[in-house]
Amino acid sequence: MQVLAKETGAPLAGLELIVNERRVGSGPEDRTRFAWEMTDAKGRLAHSVQAGEARELDVEPTDHAFGGRAHLEIPALAPGERREIVVELTT
């Protein structure tokens, strides 16, 4: 996953994020994974999801100076498949 500033497209380096993950179609109470993650110098972080199930991710900065969170729906991955996902956050 790469996290970028929505306004400029610049990578958001060293940003601490809360990532909530659940199956597509389940409610917020059915959270299956909750993690704190931090982006690297290029605004990237690695986040693994279970193969074979579509997932929803809510990505929210821990720094409330940023303008909200991003909601993503990730189609099911095949075993061993990797995808590059871009998240844009308002700065």
Per-residue confidence (pLDDT) for residue 30, from 0 to 100:
64
Per-residue confidence (pLDDT) for residue 20, from 0 to 100:
86
Per-residue confidence (pLDDT) for residue 11, from 0 to 100:
96
pLDDT, one tens digit per residue, over 23-33 is 777 666 665 77
Contact between 45 and 37 (Cβ < 8 Å): yes
Ranges of the chain whose pLDDT falls below 70: 26-31
Summarize the chain as % helix, strand, coil (round to 5): 5, 40, 55
What 3-state DSSP class applies to 30?
helix
CA 10/CA 69 separation, integer angstroms: 17
Per-residue confidence (pLDDT) for residue 80, from 0 to 100:
93
